[in-house]
Amino acid sequence: MTLRVLVPGGGCPPVFYVPRDHLRVPWDYPARIRDRSVVRGFCALCSWGFPRVLLCGPVSKRGPFPTTFWLVCPYLMDRCSHLESSGGVARLEARMERDMEAMRDYHRMHRMVRRALLTPAEWSMIRARAELAYPILGKGMGGTDFSGVFGAKCLHLQVGSFLGLGYHPFGSHLSLEVGDMCCPDGRCGLSRGAMERG
């Protein structure tokens, strides 16, 4: 498999990804992804070859789209949901409180990645519509306003960003919480095979 860094705007985000049309395994977008045009490619493929994270552009048909790295792996989404229901967000926030400046730097990093992903047409749109500037250029990961007190939002966002960027200031905490970052059975392919046979 060839990994390339391709950005329509000519910028170069600090991530490697597989462009949308170069995925080598059969895979369907989850139903909750309504605007596929925002998807630029796939990050952090699992050992089975399926995408765990989508790389998304900063502007959708509806306006600003602040989630650059969108977790789509069913196994990891289930793990994150389970951890959230057992206090996982509170545990991460307690850890974050010990070094909020590291988290602010991480939000700044997300802001820079979003800037790098903007196409020339999107830059023109932002210049023409000032109300779009802050949501796209000023906020952090997942649209977080990190100028004051802020939380973790959700583990799905944190894990997706960790895998997409290959870095998180509290990556060791997330790794310990989540455990194995890849399912043991390639369930993305298994569920697709069952749908095709059914």
Q: What is the pLDDT of residue 190?
A: 64
| AA letter at 130 | A
**57 CB neighbour count, 10 Å cutoff:** 20
pLDDT band per the 50, 70, 90 thresholds, residue 1: very low
For range 126-136, the mean pLDDT: 91
* Residues 143, 135: Cα–Cα separation, whole Å: 7
Check if the beta carbon of residue 156 is closer than 8 Å to that of residue 80: yes
Mean pLDDT of all residues belonging to the chain: 85
90-124 pLDDT, tens per residue? 999 999 999 999 999 999 999 999 999 999 999 99
**pLDDT over threshold 60, residue 191:** no
Dig out the tokens for 131 from the structure: 């109300």
Q: What is the pLDDT of residues 40-64, one digit of tens each?
A: 888 888 999 888 999 999 998 888 9
Q: How far is CA 10 from CA 37, 56, 92, 194, in A?
A: 18, 15, 35, 40
For 79, half-sphere exposure in the C-beta direction (CA atoms, 13 angstrom radius) is: 21
Classify the C-alpha dihedral 119-112-30-132 as positive or negative.
negative
